A and B are shown apart, each in its own frame.
Chain A
Amino acid sequence: MALDLLSELIFLPAIVGLALTAVPSRLSRVIFGLGILGAAFAFGLSLQLFALFDPTVVGYQFEQRLAWIPSFGVMYYVGIDGIALVLLVLTTLLSLIALISSYGAIREKRKEFVIVLLFLESAMLGTFSSLDLFLFYVFWEAMLVPMYLLIGVFGGPRRIYATLKFFLYTMAGSVLMLVAILVLYTQASESTGTVSTALPDLLHVRMPFELQLALFLAFVVAFAIKIPLFPLHTWLPDAHVEAPTAGSVLLAGVLLKMGGYGLVRFAIPLFPEAARAAAPWIGALAVIGIVYGAYVALAQEDMKKLVAYSSVSHMGFVALGMASLTRIGMAGAVFQMVSHGLATGALFLMVGMLYERRHSRMLVDFGGLARVTPRLGFAFFVITLASIGLPGLSGFIGEFLVLNGAFQSVVWARPWLFVGFAVVGVVLGAGYMLLLYERLFLGEITFEENRKLKDLSWVEGAALALPVVLVVWLGLQPGLILSRVNPAVETILLRMNSSAESP
């Protein structure tokens, strides 16, 4: 059974993780080294995919189908389009960075940490690549256990509360999706006679509008919890605050993207009419989330909480872009996912570095650090600006495209209302991010112990370098992503409209 490049990429981290179980835990440096090597290799494979990917081809690439459970019509069916492609690269990059940055930070149970992280990476890659709903659900759920362990074993003082909340919250959403998958499968087998869980086979299932709406909502609840869409976001601040740095990076950088990805890959194409009907509501919740998240972030004294609420705000843009159901808005949402993944991943990384040095996440304990740690200050500045959406950096492109799409959208009656409120969120975003930077790095040094803080070590610098470079690069050359995402979004929208015209 030969595995294709894509399958190799999906399973490589897990196989490395499995192999590492055989290495005795006292050789923790070797284990970490091998783990980083494996993650780097996976990153290389994903870059190879990126290079081999042909943006002009319509449909999925690197497809592979293997019979898995023939009696259910379940296949091992993977394949990617432009959207999945960029998210795969983001996943391997952030996993690699998370591992590198944990080398010094994790001191106990190092072997278990590396193994869990590698398994998580495989599950994430599988989720982005699955084109079979059963397979997707398996990978989607398989992410939960490693994340549960990552927060619960390696997290902060309230880690057990946070990890249980994370697990139960996510599970509650995903079982609704499971029921929806079962019903969809039943509908498909009754109307067309095909017994299959493959996405292409389920795209044109005829069903009454009410049923379509119910199934769409079941999917959306699962994805909305992950995004997280207001008011289902309450697990996120707890999980972020208690998670170890690597956990926060992957949670914010990759796991939240599963929600937006699920919308564009499954929920919207499977139930186009329901999506159109529900779009204003999703858009409204997204806008509320944008403003609310930003407003709450303004009041935070804990850096991690601040970044967590900023995620609620920034991911609101993703939901808004998806709900606009326009090419430009959806492509912008995907771009925003990548940009947010890089920027927020880097932010959590740097918050973790400050915590390592000072053992505090409270803003009052810092101030004037720019003089003590200039390199960290510079990296933080670039990421802050990217996060605000300064033109020339990646955050601008994503937010601009989303707002543009929301304005052009025909699914809601008063586009200016949505855009207007979202812009308020942008302004507030500039407020809390600049405030965060000011209180950390500018002004006088208020605490004596802050004078002796070390600047970035070369390992930390290496971990931060790529995201910092990438937010600039993508800001200047967004076509790198958009040229691959646009055709995929167009295909999805085209299929949606054609199904609306021929009822």
Chain B
Amino acid sequence: MNSMEFLPIGVLATGAVVLLSLTGSRRQRDRFVTFGALLTAVCAMAAAAALIGAGGGFQDPLLAPFFVRDVVGVGAGVVILLLLALVTPVVVFDVGPLRAASSGVFSLLLLSTAGALVMAFSRNLLFFVVGLELLSLPLYVLVGMGRSEEACEEAAFKYFLLGAASSAVMIYGMAILWGAFGTLDILEWGRLWEKRGEAGPDSGLAILGATLTMSGLAFKIGWVPFHMWLPDVYEGAPSGVVAWMSGAVKAATFAFAYRFTHALHGLFPTVVGETVMVVAAASMIWGSLAAVYQSNFKRMLAYSSIAHAGYAALALLPSSARFGGERALVLYLFTYALASFGAFVIASLQEAEGKTRVADLSGLAERRPMIGLILAVALLSLAGIPPLGGFVAKFYVFLAAVRGGHFLLVLLGVLTSVVSLAYYLKVLVAVYMQEPKEVRPVYVGIGRMIVLGGGALATLLIGIWPAGVLDFLADVSQKLWP
């Protein structure tokens, strides 16, 4: 049964290849693609659920040295697969260029998901890079499939160029790390480190390599000062793709970053914590302040996602780990993914009308009361207003950080939350308190309505009854280390 452990990723890859090789008339293909994509997503989820249910770590001798199943990994995997299932109907019912090339789009999406899963579970730098490229290459293409040619070409070009550069830097860093330790397995470092001085690792090399690698992770996550690409890419890329990538890329990278920082923490106890603190503070401040000045809805959400990367970084702090930092991180990623998915899908509705500004959302609540409500739930959850999921996640993250002794960082976190509220409320002012510029209702479509409603409902449920999710996480960690 051990070879079953690769099943979720295998299912995704197979699905991708099959979808790409479909032939026939456009209409037949469309139907197949829709069905096939949903089937693949569901099968991958079922396989993953079976694996989580079975418990334990990776046992296959082929996989065990390269992959590890821990709480962040499992949590990120759930987020990634859930987002795939949510985004499928959005792409299927999209009216823009995404739909025109749906078989290609879906196989790219499935490949990207497979890459994200590899990243989320890897303990080996080489496998992480393989996963990262498998995630990124399809995304470079997907980002370029937007409606407005100029903006999306800029986005795709920027993403590709900067992404390639950051990958190169990161791989260089990993090569140095390999030079320092003689192994790419990050969980082995702690054991090797004790032998430094004699024949063991060189600490100067290790620091250099770790710094370069961290910068690559920071790029993918969108931490300041490696965030420059993010607003441009989110703005230019098709919103359906952003709805997926904003949550999934973060989840996959954060899972590995958690493992990576904790492996390094054993080596350099103070430096790692301080670096994460600086990055978290800078991201919270810059993301929140810059978002206030955006008039483009997606750019605003992009800066808010930078701020959220900063909040989630608090859970990454080594000293938070003792107080549930791991689970707090998962909960945060989960609620962020849900809320940002909703907001970006609504941005895609707006995009279909050729509108991009926050002011164009005016009167949305009158044109489509349900969509207005869903957007309100998503944004208030991002802002951390109870009783929504975003509040519980923020509470958990802040609690772990305060108990870890980072009182001032949490104070900064709550103050930037108040700043962030200013721009979330600006959107809600447009949605609820301004007259609509057109009377015609927004086109939504049944598929998007279902996933949007489901996401909003889940956000509310997590807020009212967080014990459900937390029990699940506790259950997972129990099964992993019985």
A residues with a Cβ closer than 8 A to B are 67-72, 134, 137-138, 141-142, 144-145, 148-149, 152-153, 159-160, 163-164, 167-168, 171-172, 175-176, 178-179, 182-183, 185-186, 189
Q: Is the CB–CB distance between B422 and A168 below 8 Å?
A: yes
Smallest CB gap from B369: residue in A: A112
- How would you classify the secondary structure of chain B's contact residues: helix, strand, loop or mixed? helix
The yes or no answer to B402 lying at the interface (CB within 8 A) is yes
Complex Cα distance, B402 from A235, in Å, reads 31
Q: A138-B387, A168-B418, A179-B411 are in contact. Are A189 and B403 (CB under 8 A)?
A: yes
CB proximity of B461 to chain A, nearest CB, Å: 13
Interface size class of B (residues with CB under 8 A): 20 to 34
B residues with a Cβ closer than 8 A to A are 324, 380, 385-387, 391-392, 395-396, 398-399, 402-403, 407, 410-411, 414-415, 417-418, 421-422, 425-426, 428-429, 432-433, 466-467, 470-471, 474
Q: 30 A-B contacts, Cβ less than 8 Å apart?
A: A71-B467, A71-B470, A72-B396, A137-B386, A138-B391, A141-B385, A142-B385, A142-B387, A145-B380, A148-B428, A152-B429, A163-B429, A167-B425, A168-B418, A168-B421, A168-B422, A172-B415, A175-B415, A175-B418, A178-B395, A178-B398, A179-B407, A182-B398, A182-B399, A182-B410, A183-B407, A185-B402, A186-B402, A186-B403, A189-B403
Smallest CB gap from B327: residue in A: A71
Q: Is the CB–CB distance between A171 and B418 below 8 Å?
A: yes
A residues in contact with B385, CB < 8 Å: 141-142, 144-145
A residues in contact with B414, CB < 8 Å: 175-176, 178-179
B residues in contact with A185, CB < 8 Å: 399, 402
A residues in contact with B403, CB < 8 Å: 186, 189
B residues in contact with A183, CB < 8 Å: 402, 407
Complex Cα distance, B324 from A185, in Å, reads 15
CB proximity of A144 to chain B, nearest CB, Å: 7
Complex Cα distance, B380 from A160, in Å, reads 17
Complex Cα distance, B392 from A183, in Å, reads 16
Complex Cα distance, B402 from A172, in Å, reads 19
Complex Cα distance, B314 from A182, in Å, reads 15
Smallest CB gap from B401: residue in A: A182
Q: Is the CB–CB distance between A167 and B380 below 8 Å?
A: no
Q: Is the CB–CB distance between A179 and B418 below 8 Å?
A: no
Complex Cα distance, B376 from A152, in Å, reads 14
Complex Cα distance, B426 from A67, in Å, reads 37
Complex Cα distance, B391 from A171, in Å, reads 13
Q: Is the CB–CB distance between A152 and B421 below 8 Å?
A: no
CB proximity of A425 to chain B, nearest CB, Å: 32
CB proximity of B365 to chain A, nearest CB, Å: 9
Most chain B CB within 10 A, of A149, A167, A182, is at A182
Complex Cα distance, B433 from A137, in Å, reads 27
Complex Cα distance, B87 from A217, in Å, reads 46
Smallest CB gap from A214: residue in B: B407
A residues in contact with B398, CB < 8 Å: 178-179, 182
CB proximity of B81 to chain A, nearest CB, Å: 24
Complex Cα distance, B433 from A425, in Å, reads 39
Q: Is the CB–CB distance between B432 and A69 below 8 Å?
A: no
Q: A71-B470, A182-B398, A183-B407 are in contact. Are A160 and B433 (CB under 8 A)?
A: yes
A residues in contact with B411, CB < 8 Å: 179
Q: Is the CB–CB distance between A171 and B421 below 8 Å?
A: yes
Q: Is the CB–CB distance between A141 and B466 below 8 Å?
A: no
CB proximity of B332 to chain A, nearest CB, Å: 15
